[in-house]
Amino acid sequence: MKLQDILTLDCTLCAIKGTSKKKLLEIISETAAKKFDNIDTHQLFESLMAREKVGSTGIGNGIAIPHGRLTNTSQVIAVLLTSEQAVEFDAIDNRAVDIIIALFVPEENCQQHLDTLQSIAQIFSTKQFAKQVRKCQNSQELFTLIKHAKR
């Protein structure tokens, strides 16, 4: 599944004020919770934090792809967030993160989950694309950029 197929405008957040990894993950969880009928903000946040405890999802170049597996849903939800200021994320290159693409996926769909992560990594594989993302001034502009991404 491609990011372009699962991202919605209401889950695209541009230039968010967040001062920490925890705060940004809370904002992502609050945003995603509006899309689920039976999963609340706390459950979503805990699923992201459980994955972060295994190892940081900061993939380098100021980008992180936190993801949580959920047991009681068949929905796949993506949240894209850019932050006004980069925050420490324990990324593999030790660089602070200002682009976060979060995924919430059903626990039993491992292959779909991996395919979606690969799609996201491909979209953000060039520094040029990340620069375009960082230049977006509002959520609509950011959403449109992702929808028209070539990967």
- Which residues are catalytically annotated? 67
Residues near 28 by beta carbon (within 8 Å), at least 6 away in sequence? 44, 48, 66, 79, 81, 100, 102
CA distance 98 to 16: 9
Return d(Cα 83, Cα 80) in angstroms, integer. Answer: 10
How many residues in the chain?
Answer: 151
Going from the C-alpha of 54 to that of each of 27, 82, 90, 128, the distances in angstroms are 21, 23, 12, 30
